Amino acid sequence: MISDRPAEVEDRAVPGHWEGDLIIGSTASKSAIGTLVERTSGYVMLLYLAEDHTARTVAAAMITAMNTLPEQLRRSTTWDQGAEMSRHQEITMATGMPIYFCEPHSPWQRGSNENTNGLLEWSPEVGHPV
């Protein structure tokens, strides 16, 4: 749980702590994008999930993306309690990065990620979030 995260995550002084979530596409496309935001720098990594957003697909995408980073930038990730993270132990084993979970219905506990998702979901063509 988020209460188990190291204190260094809170003040954003140490890089390598991430927040993550999914942006789900249309029902017809079944697509999704995983979003990862590094808490210190605001650096964003997008995980394109073209086929589905099952736990297996999300885990594979996260492992591939996070293992492109140096070890010191893989300190932790905080995610919501969605079913797409049911393979979190597999991700941790493959990346060396522990995953912490927000309390239910508490998106503000991943505030950087929620803000980023809001910016990505904005559609200027229609003048409101899609």
- CATH code of the domain covering residue 105: 3.30.420.10
Evaluate whether residue 34 is within a structural domain: yes
Evaluate whether residue 126 is within a structural domain: no
Query: Has residue 77 got a pLDDT over 90?
Result: yes
pLDDT score at 126? 43
**For 31-58, what is each residue's pLDDT tens digit?**
789 999 999 999 999 998 888 899 999 9
Count how many domains the chain has.
Answer: 1
Query: Has residue 65 got a pLDDT over 50?
Result: yes
Evaluate whether residue 119 is within a structural domain: no
Backbone φ and ψ for 112, nearest 5 degrees, come out as -60, -40
Residue 129 pLDDT grade (very low, low, confident, very high; cuts 50, 70, 90): very low
Domain of residue 26 covers 2-112
pLDDT score at 50? 80
Counting beta carbons within 10 angstroms of the beta carbon of residue 90, is it exposed (0 to 12), middle (13 to 18) or buried (19 or more)? middle
pLDDT score at 122? 58
Compute the mean pLDDT over every residue in the chain, rounded to the nearest whole number. 86
Look at the block and give the residue holding tokens 């063509």.
125
Asked whether the CA dihedral 110, 123, 35, 32 is positive or negative, the reply is positive
**For 7-31, what is each residue's pLDDT tens digit?**
888 888 899 999 999 988 777 767 7
Evaluate whether residue 128 is within a structural domain: no
Instruction: Tell me the percentage of the chain whose pLDDT exceeds 70.
Output: 90
Euclidean distance between the first and final Cα of the chain, in Å? 30
Evaluate whether residue 102 is within a structural domain: yes
pLDDT score at 73? 97
Evaluate whether residue 123 is within a structural domain: no
Evaluate whether residue 122 is within a structural domain: no
Residues pairing with 71 in the sheet: none
Q: Which of 54-58, 88-92, 96-100, 103-107 has the lowest mean pLDDT?
A: 103-107
Query: Has residue 84 got a pLDDT over 70?
Result: yes
Evaluate whether residue 125 is within a structural domain: no
